[in-house]
Structure 1
Amino acid sequence: MRITSKGQVTIPAGIRRQAGLLPASEVEFEYRDGVVILRRAGGKTRGEELVSRLRGMFSACGKSTDEIMRETRGGE
């Protein structure tokens, strides 16, 4: 595997999958004892990040989840 002139490298798909790295994932690098370490930044999975961003977003409408689902399904 080669590093491009811009310092880019492709992380193999299997490693990305195991590490939970999806497009737009934030990562961080560390150099320790001659080894470069790449890890997900913040320690949260992409799903955890999404949930924390969405948490409380819809509470302003003043309806419960059940009420919203009833309306979505046609008021039944």
Structure 2
Amino acid sequence: MKPTTRHRLDLIAFLAVLATGVLLTAMGISAGTLATIAVALSSLYGVWKGTGPAAPPTPHDSQPPGRTAPPDPPTGS
């Protein structure tokens, strides 16, 4: 996708979210609810764009192929 097309889509998404926020505010939605909606929409947009939070790596992800992670040490009780 061309950078100009990508920027245009980003601008359209931003304006759509901004218009939605203005509309919801005009309809009397509380600030707390609007903040929750804004966080949810920004998270969804970040995931769609590929910049959202990623799952943390597991210990097994750092091991070379064919090797297993050492067992957890026993805990003394």
Same fold per superposition (TM over 0.5) = no
Give me the TM-score of the superposition, normalised by structure 2.
0.25
The structure showing larger relative contact order (alpha-carbon pairs under 8 Å, at least 6 residues apart) is: 1
Q: TM-score, normalised by structure 1?
A: 0.25
* Higher Rg of the two aligned structures: 2
